[in-house]
Amino acid sequence: MAALVLAAACQSTPPPSDEADLAVSESVEAEETEAMDEAAETMPEEAVAEVKTYPQENVAPGEDPYIWLEEVEGEEALDWVRTQNERTLEELQSGGMYDRYYRQALDVLQSDERIPYGTVRDGYVYNFWQDSNNVRGVWRRASLESYETSNPRWETLLDIDALAEAEGKNWVYKGANCFKSDAGARWYCMISLSDGGKDAVIQREFDIATKRFVDGGFVTPEAKQGFAWVDRNTALIATNWGEGTTTASGYPFIVKRWSRGTPLSSAVEVVRGDESDVGVWPSVIETDDGRRLQMAVEADTFFTSTYWWLPEGETSPVRMPIPQKSSPQGVYQGNLLITLKQHWSPRAGSAFFSGDVVAFDLETFLRTREVPPVSLVFHPENNQAVNGVAIAKGAALLSIDENVRGKVLQIEPADNGWSRTELSLPGTSGQAGIAFADRDSDTVFINYEDFLTPDSLLRYDVSTGEVRQIKSLPTKFDAEGLAVDQHFAVSSDGTAIPYFIVYKEGIELDGTTPTLLYGYGGFEVSMNPSYSGVRGRLWLEEGGAYVLANIRGGGEFGPAWHQAGLKTDRQIIYDDFIAVAQDVIGRGVTSTEHLGIMGGSNGGLLMGVMLTQRPDLWDAVVIQVPLLDMLRYHLLLAGASWVDEYGSPDVPRERAFLETISPYQNFDPNADYPAPFFVTSTKDDRVHPGHARKMARKFEVAGKPFYYYENIDGGHSAAANQQEAARRNALEHVYLHRKLFGEGE
């Protein structure tokens, strides 16, 4: 079973909101008005713009004057967005640097010299591909034998550009959920399509054999939804069933069983959660003998879930004996494998710890409906973290990090526990992950990369035990003379915080190296070494250094590393990031005037906090698709699903803490901020673009320099296609270069 992924932060609406008590203090409003003319006199000429007034900003003291910018498609809000876009593009696209950076980024992003990652079904590799000729992309396949050659013979199954043109839609491909019919071994897939990149999708049934959508097949209306095949003619579906059927986070909480040939409205309810849940999703567990156990996953919170088994012919769901802070990973040799994110004592005398991988006999549970004996599969050491488990035909694989470097292990049940065998990979200092594994195939794809080594795709053949490289990328930038070090900074509580630095060997440690520091720090998402041709060309080749901070909130050292920064403990995450910056400066690598920072989504919140808490530490701040108004975030789009990460503004103690960190509320119109660059997307239905809009508006009203670019399409990635991704990267790096290199183009 593929475990439920709720989307790392800010992956993916709100209950009726109480507009009161949400905001900007009367004194701050007065200061903003006073500071406007004075600050405008000292702004860099190119950043000064006439500040238009809006009558809707004349609000009562204590209310938010910029709440009108939360109207995503509002005429005046979009007029403001277009004005900011025009001003920013005029500034950053002037001169020759932008065109050069755009061409370089697009060359990398649209290059045919990319690894076409895919999934294996019956001897074919299925892949989704975008390039200059296929802007929206094509879904295609090649035989496994052909795939391993340097020039695979691809067969197009679905052309998204042609589909979008024919239907007059800005379709963005969001994936295929496929099922193999017993009759004729034929594959049918539910294709997910998003209008402009939103998380909300429609799904249509597609017949691979005919390369056509199925006439009269399963089709779903647009919604944030989940779909699981039960058999060829039956599915489990969770969607928006009408008013009152979605959670405060905008996700479904009712799962129904849907039969082919019947309208969706006639589907039969099988599980109902609560509006207070994050959401409820359908799923299936496949057993070793091919049975498909119908399941539902009730995400009570972002980090806790209840797992339900839906026995055939029974009307009541059966709760699975799985701890709430845990994830089932699939069945191997009759054992249901589970990763734990909490301590668990399933029986007297047995105890397992957060971060462990455990297993129990599934058939015993199905027969007795009681928790069976549980065995330990893997216990990580202090410097290790489990990334996940993958089940292939004849093998179970475990992906782990060790000191933020990846390893892949094969695990097998043995007489006295589980054995582990490490697979041989081409490097030991980078990121190693399982790119594909499926219980119907004995082919496993493994990816390896590090900061200076392009991606390699390895094929692990379970039947022979052979690991061999089948594809690798050519270098996308000149890494000659570059080095990578790992250092540790000491945070405010004495904890050692690791970070990587990529730099030119022999640099003068005189504080003059332009340095970009990247961080995330949330939702147990690890920041691992990775190869980026765009970063290499637009930053490292230009002489910049790159720093990746492994701060708390992430998953680099397991659940405890994440949980150390939850809710009212979150300031430690920001202290970690500050400690890394100070350590890099202390080593003489860079200095404030040459140090820039970047982060997106939850990392965008990190950037906002760094901007308002320590504006003295950096001279450039790129704030991508951010959360910034932490007193209203839970009322905007998917925000309510993240209260277990950030705390709730409706809980007095948690609100009091959020008031201390929220960038929007802590903006000071008299402070000396570096001019930030806000990047967001109108079509982002996960993190509301109002966060970036409102914060930028504060800068504007206060007369402070800032840059702002909002992609009208693009979803949470802020880029609906590779051209837009290249544009965003080029704009960001022109900004960084001008701010940190201190020289002309």
pLDDT computed for residue 722 by the predictor: 82
Find the helix or strand (DSSP H, E) in which 37 lies.
helix 26-42
The verdict on residue 268 lying in a domain is no
Q: Is position 601 annotated as part of the catalytic site?
A: yes
The verdict on residue 687 lying in a domain is yes
Same domain, 537 and 598: yes
Same domain, 489 and 592: yes
Q: Over the stretch 68-103, which tens digit does the pLDDT of each residue have?
A: 999 999 999 999 999 999 999 999 999 999 999 999
pLDDT computed for residue 91 by the predictor: 96
Judged against a pLDDT cut of 50, whether residue 4 lies above it is answered with no
pLDDT computed for residue 713 by the predictor: 61
- The beta strand positions in 579-732, using DSSP E, are 595-600, 620-624, 676-681, 707-711
Same domain, 101 and 127: no
Q: Which two tokens mark 568? A: 């009212």
Closest CA to 284 of 254, 307, 313: 307
The verdict on residue 207 lying in a domain is yes
Q: Over the stretch 257-290, which tens digit does the pLDDT of each residue have?
A: 999 999 999 999 999 999 999 999 999 999 999 8
Same domain, 97 and 141: no
Instruction: Indicate which residue of 634, 688, 691, 716 is catalytic.
Output: 716
pLDDT computed for residue 28 by the predictor: 31
pLDDT computed for residue 24 by the predictor: 28
Same domain, 597 and 714: yes
The verdict on residue 192 lying in a domain is yes
Same domain, 129 and 91: no
The verdict on residue 447 lying in a domain is no
Q: Which residues contact 695 (CB under 8 A, 6 or more apart)?
A: 608, 623, 626, 628, 629, 663, 664, 667, 678
Gyration radius of the chain's alpha carbons:
26
CA dihedral 33, 35, 38, 41 (to 10 degrees): -90
Same domain, 493 and 547: yes
Same domain, 98 and 145: no
Give the pLDDT band (50/70/90) at residue 30.
very low
Judged against a pLDDT cut of 80, whether residue 50 lies above it is answered with no
Same domain, 155 and 103: no
The verdict on residue 454 lying in a domain is no
Q: Count of H helices and E strands in the chain? A: 14, 37
Closest CA to 505 of 534, 484, 521, 486: 484
Which of residues 204, 223, 242 is at a domain's end?
Answer: 223
Which of residues 223, 250, 278 is at a domain's end?
Answer: 223
Q: Over the stretch 207-243, which tens digit does the pLDDT of each residue have?
A: 999 999 999 999 999 999 999 999 999 999 999 999 9
How many domains, the chain? 2
The verdict on residue 418 lying in a domain is no
pLDDT computed for residue 42 by the predictor: 35
Same domain, 701 and 725: yes
Q: Over the stretch 697-711, which tens digit does the pLDDT of each residue have?
A: 999 999 999 999 999
**Single-letter amino acid, residue 480:** E
Q: Is position 716 annotated as part of the catalytic site?
A: yes
CA distance 108 to 110: 6
The verdict on residue 179 lying in a domain is yes
pLDDT computed for residue 745 by the predictor: 58
Same domain, 74 and 216: no
Same domain, 552 and 616: yes
| Range(s) of the domain holding residue 693 | 69-109+481-741
Instruction: Indicate which residue of 399, 601, 641, 681 is catalytic.
Output: 601
Phi–psi pair at 677, nearest 5 degrees: -120, 110
CA distance 407 to 428: 8
Q: Over the stretch 580-639, which tens digit does the pLDDT of each residue have?
A: 999 999 999 999 999 999 999 999 999 999 999 999 999 999 999 999 999 999 999 888
Q: Residues 322, 338: contact at Cβ < 8 Å?
A: yes
Q: Over the stretch 572-582, which tens digit does the pLDDT of each residue have?
A: 999 999 999 99
Judged against a pLDDT cut of 80, whether residue 46 lies above it is answered with no
DSSP 70: G
Which of residues 223, 250, 268 is at a domain's end?
Answer: 223
Judged against a pLDDT cut of 80, whether residue 19 lies above it is answered with no
Q: When comparing pLDDT for 290 and 193, which is higher?
A: 193
pLDDT computed for residue 113 by the predictor: 86
Q: When comparing pLDDT for 440 and 672, which is higher?
A: 672
Residue 82's CATH number: 3.40.50.1820
3-state helix, strand, coil in the chain (%, to 5): 25, 30, 45
